[in-house]
């Protein structure tokens, strides 16, 4: 079984300040982990992914995430928020034996304050 | 080409209508998915096709009928829907197996009246 927990359903940040979105996962096997972003009425866009290579993963738009097996975490960070970062963010896990099934977290709604 | 194209973008249908949603990708992906997404919620998996065969049906009501005519196309046939079926319907594709990222289309915003 696999699952994802995203705390803080709503996150407000001031423009130019750091962004931190927390993700904890549960998986019976070594997981692959993803962060997706969704702007209003749009599809999901992949920000970055972890698939057992480097534990610090860099993605698009200045985002990065660190895989910590001991903490079963995959938190997403960005040093300086931009207005265009206002969106919904989903942490997603895929595991061997998952039969192509992705497990989504409940999402973080990010608001950027000018 | 890293796009998944969905048509139509918006659809309004009555409860007695029959309509179809279409999805197309040319990335050579052999797994394709339908998701349903309600407002402020994560996507919910409906169906998975792997190598053009239905591999997962998440107990979706029979008024939703998927079809995968070939490795590039995925359809979702709709019949006798209910107002609670109004949602954003997302198509995605990936290579089969763990670790392959899924590419999502822009979705079809469906309203059932």
Q: Dump pLDDT digits (tens) for A44-87.
A: 999 999 987 789 999 999 999 999 999 999 999 999 999 999 99
B45 CB neighbours in chain A (<8 A) are: 101-102
**Band of the pLDDT at B1, cuts 50, 70, 90?**
low
Does residue A12 register a pLDDT over 60? yes
**Band of the pLDDT at A16, cuts 50, 70, 90?**
very high
DSSP state at residue B100:
P
Cα–Cα distance measured from residue A65 to residue B50, given in angstroms and rounded to the nearest whole number: 30
More confident residue, A100 or A39: A39
Q: What is the mean pLDDT of residues A29-38?
A: 91
Does residue A28 register a pLDDT over 80? no
pLDDT of residue A96: 63
Does residue A99 register a pLDDT over 70? no
B33 CB neighbours in chain A (<8 A) are: 100
Classified as helix, coil or strand, B3 is: coil
Minimal-distance CA residue of chain A relative to B94: A100
Percent of chain B with pLDDT over 70: 98
A98 CB neighbours in chain B (<8 A) are: 98
Residue among A23, A25, A44 with most chain B CBs within 10 A, to mutate: A44
Lowest mean pLDDT among A42-56, A63-77, B20-34, B63-77: A42-56
Residue among B8, B35, B39, B43 with most chain A CBs within 10 A, to mutate: B43
**Band of the pLDDT at A97, cuts 50, 70, 90?**
low
C-alpha B79, offset from chain centre: 15
pLDDT of residue A35: 97
B96 CB neighbours in chain A (<8 A) are: 100
CB contact under 8 A, B41 and A106: yes
Q: What is the mean pLDDT of residues A80-100?
A: 87
Minimal-distance CA residue of chain B relative to A109: B40
Cα–Cα distance measured from residue A25 to residue A19, given in angstroms and rounded to the nearest whole number: 20
CB contact, 8 Å: A95 with chain B? yes
Q: Is the torsion defined by CA of A68, A60, A105, A92 positive or negative? A: negative
Cα–Cα distance measured from residue B40 to residue A84, given in angstroms and rounded to the nearest whole number: 19
Cα–Cα distance measured from residue B66 to residue B70, given in angstroms and rounded to the nearest whole number: 12
Q: Taking a C-beta distance cutoff of 8 angstroms, is the pair A83, A112 a contact?
A: yes
Q: Taking a C-beta distance cutoff of 8 angstroms, is the pair A19, A83 a contact?
A: no
pLDDT of residue A102: 87
Does residue B59 register a pLDDT over 70? yes
Taking residue B10's Cβ as centre, other Cβ atoms within 10 Å add up to: 10
CB contact under 8 A, A49 and B55: no
pLDDT of residue A98: 57
CB contact under 8 A, B42 and A106: yes
Mean pLDDT score across all residues of chain A:
92
Cα–Cα distance measured from residue A25 to residue A105, given in angstroms and rounded to the nearest whole number: 9
Residue B52 gets the label, from left (phi > 0), alpha (psi -120 to 50) or beta, of: left
Terminal-residue alpha carbon distance, chain A? 41
């Amino acid at each position: 079984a696999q699952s994802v927990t995203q705390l803080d359903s709503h996150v407000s940040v001031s423009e130019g300040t750091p962004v931190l979105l927390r993700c904890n996962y549960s998986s019976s096997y070594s997981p692959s982990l993803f962060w997706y972003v969704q702007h209003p009425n749009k599809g999901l866009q992949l920000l970055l992914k972890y698939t057992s290579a480097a534990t610090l993963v860099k993605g698009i738009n200045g985002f990065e995430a660190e895989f910590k097996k001991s903490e079963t975490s995959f938190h997403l960070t960005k040093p300086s928020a931009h207005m265009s970062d206002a969106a919904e963010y989903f942490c997603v896990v895929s595991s061997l034996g998952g039969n192509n099934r992705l497990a989504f977290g409940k999402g973080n709604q990010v608001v950027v304050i000018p | 080409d890293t796009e998944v194209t969905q048509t139509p973008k918006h659809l309004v249908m009555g409860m007695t209508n029959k309509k179809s949603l279409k999805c197309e990708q040319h990335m050579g992906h052999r797994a394709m998915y339908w998701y349903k997404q309600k407002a402020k919620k994560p996507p919910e998996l409906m169906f998975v096709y792997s190598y053009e065969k239905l591999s997962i049906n998440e107990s979706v009501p029979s008024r939703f009928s998927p079809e995968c005519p070939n490795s590039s196309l995925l359809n979702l046939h709709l019949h006798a829907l209910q107002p609670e079926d109004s949602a954003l319907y997302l198509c995605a594709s990936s290579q089969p197996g763990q670790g392959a990222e899924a590419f999502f289309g822009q979705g079809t915003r469906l309203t059932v009246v």
